[in-house]
Chain A
Amino acid sequence: MKNILKILKSYKIQTILAPSFKLLEAIFDLLIPMIVASIIDKGISNADSAYVLKMCGILILFAIFGVIVSMIAQYFAAKASIGLGSSLRQKLFEKVQDLSFKNLDEIQESSIINRISNDTWQVQTGVNLFLRLLLRSPFIVFGSLIMAFLISVEAGSIFAMIIPIIIVGIFLITKICVPRYEKIQSKKDAILNVTKDTLEGTRVIRAFGMEDKMVEEFEKENLAYTNLEQKTSKIASLSNPLNYVIVNLGIIAILIVGGRQVNFGVLSQGQVVALYQYMAQILVELVKLTNLLLLLPKTVASAKRIEDLLEVENSMKNGKELLEDEKIVLEFENVGLNYTAEGQGTLKNINFKAETGEWIGIIGGTGSGKSSIVNLIPRFYEVSSGEIRINGKNIKEYDWRNLRKNIGIVMQNKVLFKGSIRENLECGNGNLNEQEIGNALEIAQAKEFVEKKENGINERIEENGKNLSGGQKQRLTIARAIAKNPKILILDDSMSALDLATDKKVRERLKEFKKDKLLIMVCQRVSSIQNLDKILVVDNGEIVGQGNHQELLESCEIYQEIYNSQTKKEGK
């Protein structure tokens, strides 16, 4: 809870004042039955109208004080809790900006989003309620106890017995139910998963005619959920009737004990009425407290999830050097990489050198490690062994934001953001003039279709580029990387959605673009890379061949195999 407490500290005044004002209000509430008792004992029994009027005046005064005090308390509580929620969201979002790829692989996106958009609200609501109620309810409960003792020790001891019984009862029921609620939640997740499966896998489900099986599976999970929910509620719904019984037993005790003491002349009728009122008040407050306590584990769980994310350490350390040279020399020396994520390739002993003016192709099978190699260059992942140098310096020495500013990478997933085409191209390079934009679009073969849009480069792109075809999206992501005007441009299998003619045109235009850049292209098609300066052939995480097309055809067996697999029956 370190971070949450730290933020609350900056709302110190509010977090102290809110409950304090709440306490003041509670004091007024506690005094009311005493005043009523004195009205009964002095006013009614002596038929003293003036006294009754005076006392009722005091009641009204109390009411006015009460509302003022509690409004102040509500204001401070709102200020502190919303402030906390808001700061937490900002902090979490900033934290995410600071995470590495490895961190992001380990934490699921949906869980990050949930923490920022749901858990912070849960904590916010929780804290608000706590500031307002958590002190008030116990205060009224124990205040009633004290008042009862002030009226009579015997009556007080009734309260002293009843209160712990109720608290233990609430505590026990809560303790039994809370872990079950967690289980219920996980059962609910199971229902959710089957539903998602049904929707995402419709085609396969129907193709295999397994609709009934899905229904069966769902009904099973649903039944398990329903049963558990029912069982739990049987216990949880005991709490309310139980409290009612206990308080009524208390009232019975007050009647008997009170009656006896009045008979001895120790107590007055009005005081018995006051005791009865206190007992009734306790019930109301305890019900509130129970609801609050049931909320507590939820809030704590949310707070814990938030803290967990805030405490994630970036797995890499940033450097300080800035990369400002025009010319780039990139060297991989004995680079190895072990992902911790399962199912992904690892790299062993990667060695190569490339520099500005060159165009490098990387080819290899699925999962051979092609993408892993290029992902190391902008330091998306940290090498496990060996080192990568740019202009003689280990890339760990560079500030990674600066390093990445110098590298344009087009990834396989064609991500565009909601906003205009222009705004999308300006991601990565803040201010572009018309000519730069036009040029980037032209190289990526996107100019034609962009110009056809009603608003040209100001056309709105919807979320995930829904209003564009796959090929259009891909061309825009290429244009975006070009507009960044990077010193190293990496295309990671990023022409897959282009038809072959367009693919070829893009490659031709890139040829002119490359003179003051280092171009690296990951690809599965031999035809796309066979004219490049140097080709790296990757297999099983190792470079098994490097050279130009002709050299590789002669020397590299795997390259020959790939080549043959793509051209075999061509008859040439």
Chain B
Amino acid sequence: MKSAIRYIKKYKMQIVFSLVLTTTIVLTELYIPILVASGIDLIVGENQVDFEEIYKAVGNILIFTILMFAVKWIVNVINNKIIVSISQNLRNDVLRKLQKVSLKYIDSHSHGEIVSRVISDVDQVSDGLLLGFTQIFSGILTIIFTIFFMFSLNGKMAWVVVILSPLSLFLAKYISKKTYSLFKKQSEIRGEETGFLNEMITNQKTILALGEEEKNMKKFQNINQNLEKVSVKALFFSSITNPCTRFVNNLVYAVVTLFGAFIAIAGNLSVGGLSCFLNYANQYTKPFNEISSVMTELQNAMACLTRILKIIDEEEEIQGEKNLRNVEGKVVFQKIDFGYSAKERFIKNLNFSIEPGQKVAIVGPTGCGKTTLMNLLMRFYDVTSGEILIDGQNIQEVNRKLLRKSFGMVLQEAWMKNGTVLENIKLGKPNATQEEIEEVAKESRSYEMIQRLPNGFDTVLENNGSILSEGEKQLISITRILLLSPPMLILDEATSNIDTRTELQIQEAFDKLMKGRTSFIVAHRLSTIVSADVILVMKDGEVIEQGRHEELLKRNGFYAELYESQFGK
């Protein structure tokens, strides 16, 4: 709640102003019918019309009407300004936070859900919260003033309206309670249907390949027919709310007319007064209805806000302060323990030491912890215990940004930002010149591939570079790194989707880049492994063998076994 207030606080003045204006609106809106009633009372019958007074009343109506126009519009504009500004701030804050939370947070939360926080939840909050607040405010005012005006016109009539009108509210409440379970069921089945659709449409090609079309249509039909049955009921029962409340209102209207007419016959109410009452009787229930519907919206908005604030108040990664300059590249892992969840101990007592400039190949079966090693080096995740030292400095104390910048990283799943190819290459070095970029592109063999794209370097990539193949994306991310030429390298299956011939061609560029730079390479290509200075053989989160290719082969252990299975005949 506290953090919610900090978003509203900024707009305190506007909100107060808006509320003051809303009060004016409510008062005027209720006062105009009284003016009209007084006008009607002046029109009694043939030759009994007091035109002078009528013009006076009409003049007043005109003034108030014009006032209303201005005030109503201004309130709308102010409210909207507050709403969109709060949305804007919320969105910016969420996104800023996303850059700072731990990788664990991002890896362990569904991206779709986070996106819907930023997009739809924020809208719900600002709409629901603020509009809800002003509507409740004006609703309560309307009720109070209506009662006041009615009693000042005629006490007996006022009692009739005050007692009878809320009847429709109870009816509406009763119906909405009944329909709630239907809507819940509808949203459940709808969720099921959307889930099925998502899974099947995403994999439609597999469905076609397996020839499962007919079976799928039947499955979908089943869900869809269930949905239809529930939906018809839910929609019907919810849509009789209006006729039912209107029915009650019409009854009230008839009763008010009846009472009003008798009181008028007795001479205690004017005709204008009666018409004014009829008007109020029609409008009196409206704020009640509005308030009850706004209440649910408010609850919903609060729920959304809580979800958003949960992101905004999420803990940030501790940046670390120490500098990391002129990296030589000595890397030491000392008694490292690590698990992705608190319970699990995935990496156990990992120890190794790498000299500056060494080329380190990491091999091992799937799931042995190769990628985790990279995550720890980049401090995407922090170790549970033990120390990772770079040039003798514990990386836990080093500024994360500086640490990350000292590595050039290429991952198996290359990521392309929305933007042009050029922008994608320049990611780490925004001020690189065109010549520089073309040069590294040639070196990494991506130049020709890029030239073949519809607009060359200016081709716009969307949806994670969907027009490129995985291999092409990897080529571009390699180009990125070449452009940066950082002091250390991490290549996690960086060429896994590039064919061996092209890889061989890039090799030269890679060799040049790796020269004198500490490099960590996860690869399954033999040539890469054989030429490494150190091979770390990993299994189940541990380094079980370490050494050069020939040494390891001679040892005839796990490495030799791996080697045999791939390259032996």
- B4-12, B48-56, B347-355 - interface stretch: B48-56
The contact of B251 among A63, A89, A93, by CB within 8 Å, is A63
In the bound complex, do residue A255 and residue B69 qualify as a contact, i.e. CB atoms below 8 Å apart?
no
Please indicate the chain B residues that have their CB under 8 angstroms from the CB of A503 in the complex: 565
In the bound complex, do residue A56 and residue B220 qualify as a contact, i.e. CB atoms below 8 Å apart?
no
In the bound complex, how far is the Cα of B254 from the Cα of A523, in angstroms? 84
- A236-244, A349-357, A387-395 - interface stretch: A236-244
In the bound complex, do residue A238 and residue B73 qualify as a contact, i.e. CB atoms below 8 Å apart?
yes
Among residues of A, the one whose C-beta sits closest to the C-beta of B505 is: A565
In the bound complex, how far is the Cα of B43 from the Cα of A260, in angstroms? 9
In the bound complex, do residue A404 and residue B211 qualify as a contact, i.e. CB atoms below 8 Å apart?
yes
In the bound complex, how far is the Cα of B20 from the Cα of A43, in angstroms? 43
* Interface residues in A120-150 (C-beta closer than 8 Å to B): 128, 132
CB-CB under 8 A for A116 and B197, given A203-B411, A343-B472, A566-B500: yes
In the bound complex, do residue A415 and residue B206 qualify as a contact, i.e. CB atoms below 8 Å apart?
yes
Minimum CB–CB distance from A548 to chain B (whole Å) comes to 15
Q: Is residue A113 contacting chain B, with contact meaning CB distance below 8 A?
A: yes
In the bound complex, do residue B46 and residue A263 qualify as a contact, i.e. CB atoms below 8 Å apart?
yes
Minimum CB–CB distance from A328 to chain B (whole Å) comes to 17
Please indicate the chain A residues that have their CB under 8 angstroms from the CB of B309 in the complex: none
- B59-67, B157-165, B432-440 - interface stretch: B59-67
Please indicate the chain A residues that have their CB under 8 angstroms from the CB of B46 in the complex: 262-265
In the bound complex, do residue B106 and residue A260 qualify as a contact, i.e. CB atoms below 8 Å apart?
no
Minimum CB–CB distance from A418 to chain B (whole Å) comes to 6
Please indicate the chain B residues that have their CB under 8 angstroms from the CB of A342 in the complex: 453-454, 467
In the bound complex, do residue A263 and residue B47 qualify as a contact, i.e. CB atoms below 8 Å apart?
yes
Minimum CB–CB distance from B429 to chain A (whole Å) comes to 9
The contact of A500 among B206, B217, B405, B566, by CB within 8 Å, is B566
Size range of the interface on B?
35 or more
In the bound complex, do residue B500 and residue A524 qualify as a contact, i.e. CB atoms below 8 Å apart?
yes
Q: Is residue B344 contacting chain A, with contact meaning CB distance below 8 A?
A: no
- A73-81, A175-183, A450-458 - interface stretch: A73-81
Please indicate the chain A residues that have their CB under 8 angstroms from the CB of B213 in the complex: 97-98, 401
Q: Is residue B310 contacting chain A, with contact meaning CB distance below 8 A?
A: no
Please indicate the chain A residues that have their CB under 8 angstroms from the CB of B453 in the complex: 342-343
The contact of A112 among B201, B216, B367, B497, by CB within 8 Å, is B201
In the bound complex, do residue B40 and residue A276 qualify as a contact, i.e. CB atoms below 8 Å apart?
yes
Please indicate the chain B residues that have their CB under 8 angstroms from the CB of A499 in the complex: 365-366, 562, 565
The contact of B224 among A89, A229, A241, by CB within 8 Å, is A89
Interface Cβ pair total, 8 Å cutoff: 436
Q: Is residue A157 contacting chain B, with contact meaning CB distance below 8 A?
A: no
Please indicate the chain A residues that have their CB under 8 angstroms from the CB of B470 in the complex: 366
Q: Is residue B526 contacting chain A, with contact meaning CB distance below 8 A?
A: yes
In the bound complex, do residue A86 and residue B225 qualify as a contact, i.e. CB atoms below 8 Å apart?
yes
Please indicate the chain A residues that have their CB under 8 angstroms from the CB of B242 in the complex: 70, 74
In the bound complex, do residue A128 and residue B235 qualify as a contact, i.e. CB atoms below 8 Å apart?
yes
In the bound complex, do residue B99 and residue A240 qualify as a contact, i.e. CB atoms below 8 Å apart?
no
* Interface residues in A476-493 (C-beta closer than 8 Å to B): 480, 484
The contact of A71 among B51, B198, B221, B240, by CB within 8 Å, is B240
Minimum CB–CB distance from B358 to chain A (whole Å) comes to 18
In the bound complex, how far is the Cα of B216 from the Cα of A428, in angstroms? 11
The contact of B205 among A78, A206, A380, by CB within 8 Å, is A380
In the bound complex, do residue A79 and residue B366 qualify as a contact, i.e. CB atoms below 8 Å apart?
no
The contact of A78 among B106, B236, B497, by CB within 8 Å, is B236
Please indicate the chain A residues that have their CB under 8 angstroms from the CB of B282 in the complex: 280
Please indicate the chain A residues that have their CB under 8 angstroms from the CB of B57 in the complex: 255
Minimum CB–CB distance from A481 to chain B (whole Å) comes to 9
In the bound complex, do residue A365 and residue B499 qualify as a contact, i.e. CB atoms below 8 Å apart?
yes
Size range of the interface on A?
35 or more
In the bound complex, how far is the Cα of B76 from the Cα of A237, in angstroms? 6
In the bound complex, how far is the Cα of B428 from the Cα of A213, in angstroms? 11
Among residues of B, the one whose C-beta sits closest to the C-beta of A418 is: B199
CB-CB under 8 A for A77 and B203, given A343-B453, A569-B526: no
Among residues of A, the one whose C-beta sits closest to the C-beta of B429 is: A208
In the bound complex, do residue B232 and residue A78 qualify as a contact, i.e. CB atoms below 8 Å apart?
yes
In the bound complex, how far is the Cα of B257 from the Cα of A44, in angstroms? 11
In the bound complex, do residue B210 and residue A562 qualify as a contact, i.e. CB atoms below 8 Å apart?
no
In the bound complex, how far is the Cα of B10 from the Cα of A331, in angstroms? 74
In the bound complex, how far is the Cα of B477 from the Cα of A371, in angstroms? 24
In the bound complex, do residue B271 and residue A44 qualify as a contact, i.e. CB atoms below 8 Å apart?
yes
In the bound complex, do residue B405 and residue A209 qualify as a contact, i.e. CB atoms below 8 Å apart?
yes
Q: Is residue B418 contacting chain A, with contact meaning CB distance below 8 A?
A: yes
CB-CB under 8 A for A259 and B469, given A56-B257, A113-B198, A499-B366: no
The contact of B72 among A101, A240, A258, A378, by CB within 8 Å, is A240
In the bound complex, how far is the Cα of B278 from the Cα of A49, in angstroms? 19
* Interface residues in B413-440 (C-beta closer than 8 Å to A): 415, 417-418, 427-428, 430
In the bound complex, do residue B43 and residue A262 qualify as a contact, i.e. CB atoms below 8 Å apart?
yes
Minimum CB–CB distance from A370 to chain B (whole Å) comes to 10
Please indicate the chain B residues that have their CB under 8 angstroms from the CB of A378 in the complex: 209
CB-CB under 8 A for A404 and B80, given A77-B239, A117-B194, A366-B499: no
Q: Is residue B227 contacting chain A, with contact meaning CB distance below 8 A?
A: yes
In the bound complex, how far is the Cα of B562 from the Cα of A504, in angstroms? 12
The contact of A211 among B84, B100, B118, by CB within 8 Å, is B100
The contact of B68 among A206, A245, A570, by CB within 8 Å, is A245
24 example contacts (A-B, Cβ-Cβ < 8 A) are as follows A64-B247, A66-B250, A70-B242, A90-B224, A93-B217, A113-B194, A194-B95, A195-B95, A195-B98, A198-B95, A204-B411, A206-B380, A206-B404, A215-B92, A244-B69, A255-B57, A263-B49, A269-B45, A273-B40, A499-B365, A527-B566, A565-B503, A566-B525, A570-B530
Given contacts A97-B217, A248-B61, 5 further A-B contacts (CB under 8 A): A39-B261, A70-B242, A93-B224, A198-B95, A418-B195
